[in-house]
């Protein structure tokens, strides 16, 4: 077999492609490594700030903000950040706590803490569907319950590890377990909501201007400083009764600014209290007493804050819904108005057609009168006056429709029923003159509508406010001269509910065919 003319060497190309992949992987890992380094440094700093002393391998501290901060990172980023917590705990045991435990025990301590809290964070986010904005009471209670449960499990496993390795006795663990659990719980209750709100803060209706916030923050700091001085600085035997003063700035901030105010005020209060405790060098028993008070203070402040934020948000949503409803009602009104206008097009044409037809009839009659000899001037003037009246009536219909379209509602005024009926008869006279030929129809079918109209008109006039206020006012209804007595009698028989007023409204004044 002949050798190919060209032989391709792909080894160099493959090596180049592998090198590019490694560079891309390094570029993607560099930001993650930098983020992990920053988180570890922040954890060590918070551990150094809050650390008081170590009790046989367990840190006894009023609160553990480093654990709370990384617990928030675990909730947001998932279990991938468990390695950051593992490295932070390991380095804190060596460089901050100066632990005397053996290296395998230290590694197991870091492994237990990172595994327990990473599992709790994943379960809270995926199974319990925690809203990281903490906008509901359920979210705050879920976070507090998860933090407390994880702290208890972690403390129990750490105690079992230290007891199993003969680093601690059962009495020692009983002495350090409660402060450890409470400190971890307070750290999660204070630092975790603060981090979550800073990273995932939505529109909060409790926001105020920066100037007012700075002034109120300074006032809160003054109140906290005075309360701490009364609690710790006076060395009074009754100094614990002043602990309730710490609730004032925390609850005030929670009521004023909601969950954000409670998180910030709790963080400032915790930092100030830890600083004062370290400054005066109180023992572990004093720490434990303050831990219980701080735990109650933290939970109370968070619950008050989230309730205030929830209600403020509900009020804001209700106002927005009312605005939307008003806008929709306005749109519906405009749409109904346009629909009414389009639906009334035929009625408007009919309303205008009637006076125009009457005006046309009067104009022809005037024209006919002017052609006859001798000219009946008085009748021509009367017809011209009626012609002007019909034209004015058509103009009034157009004007009322224009006003309705402009204002969106009809104009009501006091009307004389007799005048209205006379105007209606004027419109009907040109179409129902005595000279009209008889029509072929059934009086049984055509009489009930006339009778119903008359009965309804009579009841409306008798129950109207105008008639009630003026008993002497009665509608003067007269019929056209083409209704005969047989038709009226049939109308009365077809409408047995007609009142005597209705019956008297149709006296027979003319002759026509009963067909």
- Terminal alpha carbon distance of the chain: 119
Query: Which residue, chain included where needed, has tokens 């029923």?
Result: 417
Q: What is the mean pLDDT of residues 161-187?
A: 86
Q: Are 308 and 377 in a shared domain? A: no
Q: Are 252 and 353 in a shared domain? A: no
- Domain span including residue 397: 344-413
Q: Are 34 and 81 in a shared domain? A: yes
417/282 Cα distance (integer angstroms): 97
Q: Let me know if residue 181 belongs to a domain.
A: yes
Ranking 147-156, 163-172, 389-398, 409-418 by mean pLDDT, the lowest is 409-418
Q: Is there a contact between 125 and 143 (Cβ–Cβ < 8 Å)?
A: no
Q: Let me know if residue 511 belongs to a domain.
A: yes
Q: Which of 474, 451, 479, 450 is nearest to 461 (CA)?
A: 474
Which has more confidence, 324 or 360? 324
Q: Are 78 and 130 in a shared domain? A: yes
pLDDT band at 247 (very low <50, low <70, confident <90, very high): confident
299/305 Cα distance (integer angstroms): 10
Burial class (CB in 10 A: 0-12, 13-18, 19+), 383: buried
pLDDT band at 98 (very low <50, low <70, confident <90, very high): confident
Assign residue 390 the CATH number of its domain: 1.10.287
Q: Let me know if residue 390 belongs to a domain.
A: yes
Q: Let me know if residue 88 belongs to a domain.
A: yes
Q: Are 388 and 420 in a shared domain? A: no
Helical axes 284-343 vs 170-199, angle rounded to 10° = 30
Decide if pLDDT at 291 tops 70. yes
Which of 292, 322, 352 is the endpoint of a domain?
Answer: 322
Q: Are 277 and 388 in a shared domain? A: no
Q: Are 409 and 422 in a shared domain? A: no
Mapped to the 3 state alphabet, what secondary structure does 304-324 carry? Answer: HHHHHHHHHHHHHHHHHHHHH
**Which token pair is 34?**
């930098």
Q: What are residue 434's DSSP bridge partners?
A: none
Q: What are residue 54's DSSP bridge partners?
A: 59
The per-residue pLDDT for range 397-412, each reduced to its tens digit, is: 778 777 766 655 555 6
pLDDT of residue 5: 42
91/109 Cα distance (integer angstroms): 11
190/419 Cα distance (integer angstroms): 82
Q: Let me know if residue 436 belongs to a domain.
A: no
Q: Are 288 and 162 in a shared domain? A: yes
Q: Is there a contact between 267 and 191 (Cβ–Cβ < 8 Å)?
A: yes
pLDDT of residue 40: 93
Angle at 378 between CA 375 and CA 384, to 5 degrees: 95
Which has more confidence, 34 or 428? 34
Q: What is the mean pLDDT of residues 446-450?
A: 59
Q: Which residues of 141-180 are buried (b: 16+ CB within 10 A; e: fewer)?
A: ebbbebbbebbbbbbebbbebbeeeebbeeebbebbbebb
Bond prior to 374 in cis (omega within 30° of 0): yes
45/70 Cα distance (integer angstroms): 12
Q: Are 229 and 369 in a shared domain? A: no
Q: Are 105 and 141 in a shared domain? A: yes
Give, for 17, the enclosing helix (H) or strand (E): helix 11-50
Decide if pLDDT at 505 tops 70. no
Query: Which residue, chain included where needed, has tokens 């700035």?
Result: 249
Q: Are 202 and 224 in a shared domain? A: yes
Count: domains in the chain = 3
Q: Are 287 and 407 in a shared domain? A: no
- Using CA atoms, how far residue 437 sits from 79, 99, 433, 482, 513, in Å, is 99, 122, 9, 11, 9
Q: Let me know if residue 455 belongs to a domain.
A: yes
């Amino acid at each position: 077999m002949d050798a190919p003319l060209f032989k391709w060497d792909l080894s160099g190309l493959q090596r180049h492609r592998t090198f590019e992949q490694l560079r891309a992987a390094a570029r993607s890992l560099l930001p993650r490594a930098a983020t992990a380094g920053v988180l570890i440094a922040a954890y060590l700093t918070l551990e150094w700030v809050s650390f008081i002393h170590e009790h046989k391998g367990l840190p006894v501290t009023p609160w553990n903000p480093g654990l709370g901060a990384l617990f928030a990172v675990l909730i947001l980023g998932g279990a991938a950040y468990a390695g950051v917590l593992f490295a932070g705990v390991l380095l804190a045991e060596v460089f901050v706590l100066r632990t005397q435990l053996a290296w395998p025990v230290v590694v197991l301590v870091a492994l237990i803490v990172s595994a327990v809290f990473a599992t709790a964070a994943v379960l809270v986010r995926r199974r319990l569907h925690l809203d990281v904005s903490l906008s509901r009471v359920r979210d705050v209670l879920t976070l507090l319950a998860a933090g407390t449960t994880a702290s208890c499990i972690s403390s129990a496993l750490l105690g079992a590890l230290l007891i199993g390795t003969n680093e601690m006795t059962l009495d020692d663990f009983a002495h350090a377990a409660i402060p450890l659990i409470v400190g971890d719980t307070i750290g999660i209750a204070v630092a975790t909501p603060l981090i979550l709100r800073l990273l995932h803060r939505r529109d909060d209706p409790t926001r105020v201007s920066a100037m007012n916030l700075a002034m109120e923050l300074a006032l809160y700091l003054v109140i906290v400083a005075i309360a701490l001085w009364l609690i710790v600085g006076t060395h009074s035997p009754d100094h614990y009764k002043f602990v309730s003063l710490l609730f004032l700035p925390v609850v005030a901030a929670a009521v004023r600014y909601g969950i954000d105010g409670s998180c910030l005020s709790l963080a400032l209060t915790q930092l100030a209290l830890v600083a004062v405790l370290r400054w005066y060098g109180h023992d572990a028993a004093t720490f434990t007493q303050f831990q219980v008070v701080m735990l109650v203070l933290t939970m109370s402040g968070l619950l008050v804050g989230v309730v205030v934020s929830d209600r403020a948000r509900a009020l804001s949503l209700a106002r927005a819904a009312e605005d939307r409803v008003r806008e929709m009602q306005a749109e519906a009104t405009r749409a109904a108005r346009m629909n009414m206008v389009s639906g009334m097009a035929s009625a408007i044409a009919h309303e205008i057609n009637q006076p125009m037809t009457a005006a046309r009839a009067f104009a022809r009659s005037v024209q006919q009168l002017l052609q006859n000899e001798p000219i009946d001037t008085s009748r021509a003037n009367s017809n011209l006056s009626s012609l002007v009246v019909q034209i004015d009536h058509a103009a009034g219909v157009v004007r009322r429709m224009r006003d309705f379209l402009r204002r969106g509602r009809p104009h009501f005024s006091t009307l004389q029923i007799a005048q209205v009926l006379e105007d209606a008869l004027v419109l009907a006279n040109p179409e129902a003159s005595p000279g009209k030929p008889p029509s072929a129809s059934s009086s049984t079918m055509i009489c009930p509508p006339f009778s119903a109209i008359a009965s309804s008109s009579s009841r409306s006039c008798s129950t109207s406010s105008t008639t009630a206020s003026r008993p002497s006012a009665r509608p003067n209804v007269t019929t056209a001269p083409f209704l005969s007595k047989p038709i009226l009698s049939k109308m009365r028989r077809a409408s047995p509910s007609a009142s005597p007023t209705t019956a008297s409204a149709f006296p027979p004044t003319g002759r026509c065919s009963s067909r």
